[in-house]
Amino acid sequence: MSLSFCGNNISSYNIYDGVLQNPCFVDALNLVPHVFLLFITFPILFIGWGSQSSKVQIHHNTWLHFPGHNLRWILTFALLFVHVCEIAEGIVSDSRRESRHLHLFMPAVMGFVATTTSIVYYHNIETSNFPKLLLALFLYWVMAFITKTIKLVKYWQSGWGVSDLRFCITGIMVILNGLLMAVEINVIRVRRYVFFMNPQKVKPPEDLQDLGVRFLQPFVNLLSKATYWWMNTLIISAHKKPIDLKAIGKLPIAMRAVTNYVLADYPNRTPSIWLAMYRAFGRPILLSSTFRYLADLLGFAGPLCISGIVQTHAFTSETLSSKEFLENSYVLAVLLFLALILQRTFLQASYYVTIETGINLRGALLAMIYNKILRLSTSNLSMGEMTLGQINNLVAIETNQLMWFLFLCPNLWAMPVQIIMGVILLYNLLGSSALVGAAVIVLLAPIQYFIATKLAEAQKSTLDYSTERLKKTNEILKGIKLLKLYAWEHIFCKSVEETRMKELSSLKTFALYTSLSIFMNAAIPIAAVLATFVTHAYASGNNLKPAEAFASLSLFHILVTPLFLLSTVVRFAVKVTNGYFSWGSGLATLSNIDIRIPTGQLTMVVGQVGCGKSSLLLAILGEMQTLEGKVHWSKNICFGQERRYCCSSRAHLPGRNRYSVAYAAQKPWLLNATVEENITFGSPFNKQRYKAVTDACSLQPDIDLLPFGDQTEIGERGINLSGGQRQRICVARALYQNTNIVLLDDPFSALDIHLSDHLMQEGILKFLQDDKRTLVLVTHKLQYLTHADWIIAMKDGTVLREGTLKDIQTKDVELYEHWKTLMNRQDQELEKVIRKTLRRAMYSREAKAQLEDEDEEEEEEEDEDDNMSTVMRLRTKMPWRTCWRYLTSGGFFLLFLMIFSKLLKHSVIVAIDYWLATWTSEYSINNTGKADQTYYVAGFSILCGAGIFLCLVTSLTVEWMGLTAAKNLHHNLLNKIILGPIRFFDTTPLGLILNRFSADTNIIDQHIPPTLESLTRSTLLCLSAIGMISYATPVFLVALVPLGVAFYFIQKYFRVASKDLQELDDTTQLPLLCHFSETAEGLTTIRAFRHETRFKQRMLELTDTNNIAYLFLSAANRWLEVRTVRSSHDFEMEAQQKGGLVQRGSQGKGALSVLFFFCVCEEDWPRANICCQSSSLFSLEEDCH
């Protein structure tokens, strides 16, 4: 055959009736727009004009989107798909002719190249913000629209209609070219770059002007969004350099916690989490649901294509009509490939949108919770109504569960669509017998829902016991020094273990229903298939065909998926109650309070222990409920003014910004920061003032002994500091602040007598009195009463006496004599201390040398810790030892039983599919009657029954082993921590330890077992699929080699980046949890200093830092899913084509091969579960170490 554009026949060049009457010349005319575009755009693209014309230099190119950006990309992809169909149709038509007719497919090939060039050209124009060069695209779409319209008209005149494929393709291309032309016109209208003197200028997004913003998903083009192409740089660079916080940068403004808090906050309405979610996140939830619907609908393309592939075997040259074209096996293979690609693309887009929305919701919730904590009454914390363990649970667990509930929400409204569509397709395939299988699923659905509700109840009960256990654990950790002093560790550990046993009892119920849920998810499709095929074998007069059988199998698996997700959604639907905190009733401790505090003077509050002195300060600060009366603050408090009373009677604060207060609580509270930062507490650093304060509080000698001086990290509990040192730092903080009023609650309680005297003389009488500051001092040191300008004597929650020392001496002689006796005793104690100090002075040099030796030992230990951190940074090493420790913690017997039952179960499942393939192949070839079906039906029923039984055994075994492992790991963790050295508790923040008993323990208890079951199930399924495909289609082994190589390199780069991002997520979450616990412990001090805004800003920064790490981790997981799924689809199509799809005479085995191909492509859970299990192992690794 000769190669010619119009063919070898001379009549093909006939133009007697006009040029446009010749189809070949019409096709040649359609080449003109494509050649024009390539001729114009190629020189511009290769010259590189974009880099020279860009007027704004920023760190990423895709900083601007023209109007209709997403619509243009969607239309372009659709046009490329139509061009592929046109090429296929042209090749098919050309193959049935005697000579080669290039005009049938050459214009389509050029159109495909031109369309691809158009989107590349547009992308470069867009990134350079030079819209005038879009004129070339406008002319191209106009020319393409005209030429395709001419071609369509000629087809219509020739009598062609919608039944002809070529006519349909041309009509669709006319519509797409017209829409793209409209998009160009809209850009011209909006940007005004044609026939307008002043074109519209567009500024780049504000986020991309900040070089710190590196999360670019909202700003890249549609193709990069779908493929996460912008993540390539980060993923690849992680293999050379660890990912740190600088590499991931900051969150975009729209994703920051403060932005979402403002969106979700309803200041003037009754608080409602659902109303807030709808108002703030309704649009992204709707978008995610739309993506999910599209993905679910495309999922049904798989069974339909499987049925068509198995039914048709030969490629005919007569495939001209639309119906014949769509019945071709090769066409169906390509359509299956494209459908699976689009399905996974939409599914990953739905996942990303819901995760991003969940992260935004979590940020808003954390801001709300923190605001509530700042408004908590101190009695809620002191009386145990709200504990640090509960706060830690709320922040670390419940907000994450609500985030995951939002992630699973689209499954709720996607279920009806999946079920209805699945039943309709099954009925079309198998007739009335399909309704039997659907009835089995429908009848078992209420049981599944019942199990799901029981799961939710069990989880709520478990959460209650977990909160009680955390409360006891928190009490132990707070009093660990006292426990070790009296050797009470085992006694209190036993109390925690008793609560843990109650929690484990609830977890047993949870594990039982979880195993039943897993069993139902695995058993329902087997039971439905068994009922359907047995009914079809005996009730129907038709034999079971391979196409019907295996297409039905895939449909049944699709139908069961919503039921599995239903249990997950209900499980995470945790209802939060008692979220609003108030004062308890009947807690009044102060009565008949009528006092006055003079401005600029020293007021001392004295009395016996428990008489209400500290409560009086808290009432003044507004920390107690007001039952009657008010606290009036002077509006003109300032330094150097005349005396006036700044406070008169009981506890209510009408406002917050009228005055400035510094407060030092009786229980010292420190930030997890340096000594300097604890003293300055957010105020500007003044070297002279700082030196004066440290000298007044006798802190300089202690600072000199610290490893890094005042830059030493001391932590929330005072790392390596004594009680007196912590107390003096808190007093120094109050002294350093440039405030009008200073409230000191028993600052001498933890100090030696000589330190107390020095603080009184230098810090209070000299430093504060010289500044003429108003000072309220609660103390038991009655010898200092002579320095007081005003005295308030408390007794049994009321004011006994008030006035100067002389007034009390005159009005209450008995009280004054009592004070005088106590003051004499305290003076005698002071003389004894002075004598002891003088005797010990000779040993000071030796003591100093000993302290230096201890400091050197501590520095060596710190170096060892740094070396351990370096070792833990081995980023390419998987925690196999931790995984083995978890598995063996459940017992070797249960481990063996789990492995054996899993292998046996999947062997039976493979045997079921193979038996079905043999059954359908036998009847397809021999066409035997009903009498011979008993053998196959009996074998199929036995295998299905065995499969159902083994599903129950494996689910129970996994949950039983997980529960046993959780029990043993928590017991070992508790004993290891409680029996640890005191230095561990001094150097480890309380929030970090509590996180091990809350979030990490929750992962071990509830998340690892089902994830382990899903991981083993999906892994064995993939291995089974590979074995069966290789057996049925040996040529698949050829495609398996490059597939394995591709997966190896993808996983190689992803694993390193994922581990880095997971570590960042963990390390950024701990400061957030510590900040919450830190705030709860120092609530009174924060409110007294009026530093709520500063601490709230810090919380928002920590939340955003944690959220950006988790967002990048989620994007990395999507990056992996897109590449692994698409790679498997590529090789699936290649192997099918090399294997001739389905061979005649072996339809059953060929159909089995196609089914397993579909299962491998559909089964993205192995990759997701590996990522999830790896993340869980990091938490487990922390607990084990």
d(CA 410, CA 2): 58
Cα 368 versus chain centre, distance: 18
User: Are the C-beta atoms of 1022 and 1166 separated by less than 8 Å?
Assistant: yes
Domain containing 1081 — which CATH number? Answer: 1.20.1560.10
Q: What is the mean pLDDT of residues 752-768?
A: 82
Cα 821 versus chain centre, distance: 65
Note the pLDDT of residue 314: 45
Q: Where residue 534 falls among pLDDT bands split at 50, 70, 90?
A: confident
Cα 406 versus chain centre, distance: 11
Note the pLDDT of residue 176: 92
566 and 613 share one domain: no
Note the pLDDT of residue 379: 67
Within 988-1007, residue ranges assigned H as helices are 990-995, 1001-1002
pLDDT tens by residue, 950-970:
888 888 888 888 888 888 888
Say if 50 falls within a structural domain: yes
Helix (H), strand (E) counts: the chain: 46, 10
Note the pLDDT of residue 866: 43
3-state secondary structure of 577: coil
Token code pair at residue 858 = 């501590």
Strands 3-4 and 774-778 come out as unpaired
Strands 602-607 and 596-598 come out as unpaired
547 and 406 share one domain: yes
Token code pair at residue 66 = 């023209």
Cα 711 versus chain centre, distance: 34
Note the pLDDT of residue 584: 46
> Around Cβ 880, how many Cβ atoms within 10 Å?
9
d(CA 576, CA 459): 13
Q: What is the DSSP letter of 997?
A: I
Burial class (CB in 10 A: 0-12, 13-18, 19+), 192: middle
d(CA 1176, CA 1003): 7
pLDDT tens by residue, 368-383:
888 888 887 776 666 6
Percentage above 70 pLDDT, the chain: 70
Three-state secondary structure string covering 261-300:
HHHHCCCCCCCCHHHHHHHHHHHHHHHHHHHHHHHHHHHC
Give the relative orientation of helices 1036-1081 and 1165-1184 as an angle to the nearest 10 degrees: 40
- H or E element in which residue 645 lies: strand 645-648
Strands 645-648 and 790-795 come out as unpaired
Q: For 824, list phi and psi in degrees, rounded to 5.
A: -65, -40
pLDDT tens by residue, 660-697:
788 888 888 888 788 888 888 888 888 888 888 898 88
Token code pair at residue 817 = 């004599």
Note the pLDDT of residue 180: 92
3-state DSSP helix/strand/coil % of the chain, to nearest 5: 70, 5, 25
Please give the single-letter amino acid code of residue 489. E
Q: In Å, how far are 306, 308, 567 from 1142, measured between CA atoms?
A: 10, 11, 38
pLDDT tens by residue, 385-404:
666 666 776 777 677 777 77
Last residue of a domain, one of 786, 803, 820: 803
Token code pair at residue 706 = 């610290």
421 and 566 share one domain: yes
Q: Is the pLDDT of residue 706 over 60?
A: yes
Say if 387 falls within a structural domain: yes
Please state which of the ranges 178-182, 184-188, 516-520 shows the lowest mean pLDDT.
516-520
Token code pair at residue 1071 = 């400061």
Token code pair at residue 1065 = 């997520």
Domain containing 778 — which CATH number? Answer: 3.40.50.300
Token code pair at residue 207 = 């986020």
Burial class (CB in 10 A: 0-12, 13-18, 19+), 566: buried
Q: What is the mean pLDDT of residues 206-230?
A: 83
Say if 130 falls within a structural domain: yes
Q: Is the pLDDT of residue 428 over 60?
A: yes
pLDDT tens by residue, 803-848:
888 888 777 777 777 777 776 665 555 555 555 554 554 444 444 4
Last residue of a domain, one of 771, 803, 835: 803
pLDDT tens by residue, 1124-1183:
765 554 444 444 444 444 444 444 444 455 555 555 555 444 444 444 444 455 455 555
Region of 1019 on the Ramachandran plot (φ > 0 left; ψ -120 to 50 alpha; else beta):
alpha
Say if 813 falls within a structural domain: no
Note the pLDDT of residue 79: 92
d(CA 371, CA 375): 6
Token code pair at residue 598 = 């003079």
The structural domain count of the chain equals 3
Please state which of the ranges 469-478, 503-512, 631-640, 1076-1085 shows the lowest mean pLDDT.
631-640
Q: Where residue 191 falls among pLDDT bands split at 50, 70, 90?
A: confident
614 and 706 share one domain: yes
Q: Is the pLDDT of residue 343 over 50?
A: yes
Say if 479 falls within a structural domain: yes
Please give the single-letter amino acid code of residue 66. F
Q: Report the chain's mean pLDDT, rounded to a whole number.
A: 74
- H or E element in which residue 659 lies: none
pLDDT tens by residue, 267-320:
655 556 667 677 778 888 888 888 888 888 887 777 777 666 666 544 444 445
427 and 457 share one domain: yes
Q: What is the mean pLDDT of residues 323-349?
A: 78
Q: Which domain holds residue 610?
A: 596-803
Note the pLDDT of residue 567: 53
Q: For residue 157, what are the contacts with CB-CB under 8 A and spacing of at least 6?
A: none
Note the pLDDT of residue 779: 84
Please give the single-letter amino acid code of residue 805. L
Burial class (CB in 10 A: 0-12, 13-18, 19+), 48: exposed
Note the pLDDT of residue 448: 76
Say if 825 falls within a structural domain: no
Note the pLDDT of residue 178: 92
Last residue of a domain, one of 784, 803, 822: 803
pLDDT tens by residue, 898-907:
888 888 888 8
Where does 589-639 show beta strands of DSSP type E?
596-598, 602-607
What is the torsion angle, in degrees rounded to the nearest 10, for the CA atoms of residue 819, residue 822, residue 827 and residue 829? -160
Q: What is the DSSP letter of 213?
A: B
Note the pLDDT of residue 925: 52
Please state which of the ranges 347-356, 620-629, 767-776, 1134-1143 shows the lowest mean pLDDT.
1134-1143
Q: Is the pLDDT of residue 981 over 70?
A: yes
Token code pair at residue 261 = 């808090």
Note the pLDDT of residue 748: 82
Q: Which of 241, 30, 52 is nearest to 129 (CA)?
A: 52
pLDDT tens by residue, 410-419:
777 777 777 7
Token code pair at residue 994 = 């509590």
Q: In Å, how far are 154, 604, 778, 810, 1028 from 817, measured between CA atoms?
A: 120, 18, 20, 11, 99
Q: What is the mean pLDDT of residues 546-553?
A: 66
Note the pLDDT of residue 564: 55
Q: What is the mean pLDDT of residues 460-477?
A: 81
- H or E element in which residue 3 lies: strand 3-4
Note the pLDDT of residue 589: 62
Say if 1080 falls within a structural domain: yes
Note the pLDDT of residue 827: 57
Strands 774-778 and 661-664 come out as unpaired
605 and 485 share one domain: no
Q: Where residue 253 falls among pLDDT bands split at 50, 70, 90?
A: confident
Q: For 843, list phi and psi in degrees, rounded to 5.
A: -95, 5
Q: Is the pLDDT of residue 227 over 80?
A: yes
574 and 610 share one domain: no
Q: Which of 999, 989, 1098, 1066 is nearest to 370 (CA)?
A: 1098
Angle at 876 between CA 871 and CA 882, to 5 degrees: 70
Q: For residue 303, what are the contacts with CB-CB under 8 A and spacing of at least 6?
A: 425, 551, 552, 554, 555, 558
Which comes out higher in pLDDT, residue 78 or 1? Answer: 78
Q: Where residue 90 falls among pLDDT bands split at 50, 70, 90?
A: confident
- H or E element in which residue 743 lies: strand 741-745
d(CA 483, CA 1115): 46
d(CA 747, CA 1085): 14
pLDDT tens by residue, 1027-1075:
776 776 676 677 677 777 877 788 788 888 888 888 888 788 878 887 8
Percentage above 90 pLDDT, the chain: 3
3-state secondary structure of 249: coil
Q: For 715, list phi and psi in degrees, rounded to 5.
A: 80, 170
1106 and 1028 share one domain: yes
Token code pair at residue 1126 = 């698409």
d(CA 523, CA 529): 10
Token code pair at residue 215 = 């999360």
Measured on CA atoms in the order 347, 348, 351, 357, is the torsion positive or negative? negative
Say if 1180 falls within a structural domain: yes
Note the pLDDT of residue 59: 45
Q: Is the pLDDT of residue 433 over 50?
A: yes
574 and 614 share one domain: no
Burial class (CB in 10 A: 0-12, 13-18, 19+), 825: exposed
574 and 717 share one domain: no
Within 49-101, residue ranges assigned H as helices are 49-53, 69-95
Token code pair at residue 1060 = 């880095």
Q: Where residue 559 falls among pLDDT bands split at 50, 70, 90?
A: low
Measured on CA atoms in the order 210, 201, 228, 413, is the torsion positive or negative? positive
Q: Is the pLDDT of residue 586 over 60?
A: no
Q: Which of 1108, 1154, 948 is nearest to 254 (CA)?
A: 1108
d(CA 712, CA 710): 5
Note the pLDDT of residue 58: 40
309 and 342 share one domain: yes
932 and 1040 share one domain: yes
Q: Where residue 20 falls among pLDDT bands split at 50, 70, 90?
A: low
